[in-house]
Structure 1
């Protein structure tokens, strides 16, 4: 067959273009798969837990990077994302436990028995009229931010709600995502009351030191340097395990969250690159390991969901920590609760783990969590944050829960004050120092 030179060049050009496009797709496919996983999982949670329409979720929550180009579709209890038919991901909702991203289509979702239902009506406990002096501070806190908005802002003092604001479409019964504030809840689970340890000499050890110094945490760690990693090292982000926490690219964190059915197993499979305490390195993997270790030490027949309910049920009845495909709650990232319940979780910490007269944590556990981690420059403790140079207005005794896209719960013991702010937007764009300063100037001393 004879082709004219022009047709021959055209065929060669089309072939080269097709080859380049296919190569580009192969190169981009891992990133598109991760993006699709994020879109499906987040849309599923917002659709079923918040009752929002997919189009509105796409416009207001998937409004960064390439996420807005993913199509969304709801079928039954699943939400699917698709990138022009090239990549398709599924997240599945189950009543009482939220949404799970299907990271391995060949494996069924592990059965999870919910200990409690999702959002409950806000209780009317100790709610007083908003302080008039607090109004301008609340208005400031609800201003739009790049990429989004605050969706809930709750202020408590002396255990009472003294002011709150919600964005349009949200109220005191809306579940709000805490992202990495869930890490602090995982640490609270780790410090939950349990039978005291029996030592080799027959004595009983009820000390925190016995709990946090425990090593040889996994059998498969015992033959290498990971045997030296203690529970304290994981809590402090000092484990020395290899980890890349970047969110805007292909990293250990995004691969774990969007490609692995058992997130803790993926994290626990990382090699030790440094000795414990040699370097502080923020790691969602370490937190999911903590959740796994906690689950493994539960009595036979006790589910991790029941454990979460037993500890947090009376403090934050709306709380849900969504599971991965293995059935284990994703302790690093997927905690949802109402704005009031996030504030109450802060109050629980301010009270040292005591609620309604019941001591639910090891005595001194919160104080231990507030001790600075080695290498963190004094800004991080045991799965919680401490005042840093970016917030000069925050009293030195304060500590806080902190999550992606500017989720915060500030606990300020010297003022008996809790400030919970939840929303959506770009990360690290909210002027929290000015917000805290305005609130501190607007409320009584608290003592």
Structure 2
């Protein structure tokens, strides 16, 4: 999430006053309670029962997005593993945790989730990373730099919770803030989009998705949306009216936090630009890609089996939960929570050209396409849900190697890949202003490795 909405609030009546005084629409006011409670319930549930974060920190983390969220009354039912969020007596929403699935909103019919059987996942504790979780002795210099960085970050209010470095296919240093460790499953937010794209690439490799087929969805066949290609969607250039506008009542906030389906709304929006011509970042588009994978797999159980059997198990991702909407469709724009080591495994898969632990996940040709600049008029430095340091006139991170690319998420979650250095750097945290000094910090770490 990159944008947010801010409005001062203390009591219910202030909503109406603020609406009049600041030009906020009645639709904003009417949709805000459901939006706030939906986000509060979902995020607090995942943070508590997946990440192990306490109530006070959860409320602080939520409040960093908007003062509205700081007004929530959040209740934790540990016996049911359910979280309820109430906003000034105007609305209440709950989310429930299920083992192997993580949290989902209790909106509409959620019976599909209750019928799911979680695949077995045998541990291999003695296997070396990335197959298992055994790591070699750390590089003393790099370890010292990471420990120094995390102390400085947190003294500056940047709330870094995990730092990890992989060099030549092995974890060489890692450090964690108090309360977190190598198994902590932490929000990736929009880094989820990169994993989601990899799932699409795998289905292409297996012949289950034809990247050249149009329309991507059947209900687009009889209008101008029939010209949208899978490539357009992966490049965030579908042309659909799915702007990343984080205001109550907007499509993206509805599909994330107030609807039974996280993707159905996206199927019905019109075109606002010619497909392939204009880059527009969109979690709604990513959720549509998740829906495509879901439909091709044939439903919730088959999709869950596919997630575990094709990705989590072969890649050794034992500390990951990929959460779903209430229907069981993966929330491919935002809701994968993983340990730093598991996020690094996704990066290693890409550095390896689509293979990990002896398993071919995507083709080398797909990886090359995924990391090739797009042809839009306004942002060529974006691949298949990966951010590129190249493609535009100026480098995105001028002090980093030209071939750098990254998975990025809200609050400056990052997995940065440096092919020329055969290195991956993972940073997870919750800095409120999304202004983490990536360029400078990554350069400092790379200099120590070199």
Q: Is residue 420 from structure 1 mapped to residue 426 from structure 2 by the alignment?
A: yes
SS at match of 1:418: strand
In structure 1, distance between residues paired with 2:83 and 2:288: 28
Change (3 A) 1:35 1:363: same
Of residues 136, 144, 156, the one that matches 2:145 is 136
Q: Which moved more, 1:82-91 or 1:60-69?
A: 60-69
Partner in structure 1 of residue 365 of structure 2 = 364
User: 1:70, 1:81 within 8 Å by CA — same for their partners in 2?
Assistant: yes
Q: Which moved more, 1:341-350 or 1:56-65?
A: 56-65
User: 2:101, 2:324 within 8 Å by CA — same for their partners in 1?
Assistant: yes
User: 2:112, 2:300 within 8 Å by CA — same for their partners in 1?
Assistant: no
Change (3 A) 1:164 1:18: closer
Of residues 173, 191, 204, the one that matches 1:181 is 191
Partner in structure 2 of residue 317 of structure 1 = 318
Deviation, 1:394, is: 1.7
Change (3 A) 1:95 1:440: same
Of residues 397, 409, 427, the one that matches 1:403 is 409
Partner in structure 2 of residue 73 of structure 1 = 75
TM-score, reference length from structure 2: 0.85
Partner in structure 1 of residue 118 of structure 2 = 114
Change (3 A) 1:130 1:196: closer
Change (3 A) 1:29 1:326: same
In structure 2, distance between residues paired with 1:267 and 1:118: 37
Residue by residue, what CA displacement relative to the aligned partner does 1:119-148 show, whole Å, maximum 9, x if unpaired? 997944342223325523552255128765
Would you say how many aligned residue pairs link Structure 1 and Structure 2? 415
SS at match of 1:364: helix
SS at match of 1:110: helix
In structure 2, distance between residues paired with 1:300 and 1:258: 22
Partner in structure 2 of residue 262 of structure 1 = 261
SS at match of 1:163: strand
Change (3 A) 1:148 1:340: same
- The Cα RMSD (Å) is 2.8
In structure 2, distance between residues paired with 1:213 and 1:145: 50
Partner in structure 1 of residue 272 of structure 2 = 273
Partner in structure 2 of residue 286 of structure 1 = 285
In structure 2, distance between residues paired with 1:177 and 1:116: 23
In structure 1, distance between residues paired with 2:401 and 2:178: 32
Change (3 A) 1:108 1:354: closer
Of residues 78, 95, 103, the one that matches 2:99 is 95
Change (3 A) 1:61 1:135: farther
In structure 2, distance between residues paired with 1:187 and 1:145: 36
Residue by residue, what CA displacement relative to the aligned partner does 1:180-210 show, whole Å, maximum 9, x if unpaired? 0000001100111667659xxxxxxxxxxx9
Q: Is residue 46 from structure 1 mapped to residue 47 from structure 2 by the alignment?
A: yes
Partner in structure 1 of residue 388 of structure 2 = 386
SS at match of 1:297: helix
Any stretches of 5+ residues in structure 2 without a counterpart? Answer: 1-12, 21-25
User: 1:39, 1:62 within 8 Å by CA — same for their partners in 2?
Assistant: no
User: 2:142, 2:172 within 8 Å by CA — same for their partners in 1?
Assistant: no
SS at match of 1:261: coil
Partner in structure 2 of residue 213 of structure 1 = 212
The structure with the larger Rg is: 1
Partner in structure 2 of residue 153 of structure 1 = 163
User: 1:245, 1:284 within 8 Å by CA — same for their partners in 2?
Assistant: yes
Residue by residue, what CA displacement relative to the aligned partner does 1:46-90 show, whole Å, maximum 9, x if unpaired? 111122332332134444422121011122221001112222111
Q: Which moved more, 1:42-51 or 1:177-186?
A: 42-51
